[in-house]
Chains A and B, each alone.
Chain A
Amino acid sequence: GNSVTQMEGPVTLSEEAFLTINCTYTATGYPSLFWYVQYPGEGLQLLLKATKADDKGSNKGFEATYRKETTSFHLEKGSVQVSDSAVYFCALSDSGAGSYQLTFGKGTKLSVIP
């Protein structure tokens, strides 16, 4: 079956530090990959996506590249801000296998301190 594994948190960084949150996946087909972000007290919202191998998703300074050879989709940002403090979820959609579900990782909590 499909699964997503992301690094355990929490992660605490100082403002302007470099961020990497690792994510690897297992899928039966050719999935689309997503990063969702959840700010305190809110629902999840899509941060970025990639639909095929070697695609790079980017938004708000965050980037992630779909690496089929390593089955990875690591999230990076060059300089984090306090406002980036949130929980980040890696997810995949394997509709090629006939399912329109999203399979989520457990989430990584990021705290950015001034």
Chain B
Amino acid sequence: NAGVMQNPRHLVRRRGQEARLRCSPMKGHSHVYWYRQLPEEGLKFMVYLQKENIIDESGMPKERFSAEFPKEGPSILRIQQVVRGDSAAYFCASSPGEETQYFGPGTRLLVL
């Protein structure tokens, strides 16, 4: 059973560009979570989605950030007009219900 997959693993963007991060949950998992890890900081919750629905986006900045989990295809975290402060590791996790979350390998975003 394949684990949570994320791509790309590394992403370099210049200030003002858009970043698109993709997450494919484990087979049979319908719950997807996005977390951000800044250097020297712990993992911080951003958004929780189920198929076609955003359940909780309380940790996601109101501007420039958006997330979706369509009926078909991976979940996508989109960051518009990136700034240097967006440089971080972004992790996706999935679960079959509201229990143990399994994490992907992460996408390391570097904004130049």
Q: Do A and B bind each other?
A: no
Binding site for B on A (CB under 8 A): none
